[in-house]
Amino acid sequence: MTSSANRQKFEELLKRWIVMEEGTINTANSLINGSKNPMVKAMIDLLRLDSEKHKHILEAIRLSLDSTVTFSTDDMKVVDSFIEKHIEIEKNAIATAEQAVNMTTLPIPKLLLSHLLEDEKSHDAYMSELNGLKVYMAKDTD
Ligand SMILES: [Fe+2]
Ligand SMILES: [Fe+2]
């Protein structure tokens, strides 16, 4: 963040984004009980739960703006064991999800599974990116 004008603009963008996520969550919540069909619930939940996640992360970023975030050695240990435990799981999840998508011919489960597969690919990429950022985080450790 370079200037206070930028900072203000950035905060406004985060706020606007959070409002959009809340809109999705509210719409989903008001519709989800209208059907007892588990597939209808799953179709709505695919977005609703992502919106919950987006809102949660956006709020964490917003909170982080109020202080200088540094990473302690204990923080680094937590990140390290998270990466270590998770990096293989995400790769296995992709392989498993690919098989499941290919085995399904029913259009709705196939659609949902293919979105979950994309999520797994994104989780796998995220773990590599997080691993790459460890050097940056280590610069700020105590
Ligand atoms: Fe979103
Ligand atoms: Fe995953």
Going from the Cα of 90 to the center of ligand 2, the distance in angstroms, rounded, reads 5
Mean pLDDT for all residues in the chain: 94
- Which ligand gives the minimal distance to the CA of 51? 1
Cβ distance 97 to 112 under 8 Å?
Answer: no
Q: Over pLDDT 90: what percentage of the chain?
A: 85
pLDDT band at 56 (very low <50, low <70, confident <90, very high): very high
Domain boundaries, the chain: 1-69, 71-142
* Cβ-proximal residues to 75 (8 Å cutoff; 6+ apart), any chain: 137, 141
Going from the Cα of 66 to the center of ligand 2, the distance in angstroms, rounded, reads 30
pLDDT of residue 140: 60
State pLDDT tens for residues 102-130.
999 999 999 999 999 999 999 999 999 99
- Which ligand gives the minimal distance to the CA of 88? 2
Going from the Cα of 81 to the center of ligand 2, the distance in angstroms, rounded, reads 16
Going from the Cα of 18 to the center of ligand 2, the distance in angstroms, rounded, reads 23
Cβ distance 43 to 112 under 8 Å?
Answer: yes
pLDDT of residue 98: 98
- Which ligand gives the minimal distance to the CA of 54? 1
State pLDDT tens for residues 89-105.
999 999 999 999 999 99
pLDDT of residue 68: 84
Could you give phi then psi for residue 125, rounded to 5 degrees? -65, -40
Give the residue with greater pLDDT, 140 vs 89: 89
pLDDT of residue 34: 94
d(CA 33, CA 84): 40
pLDDT of residue 142: 62
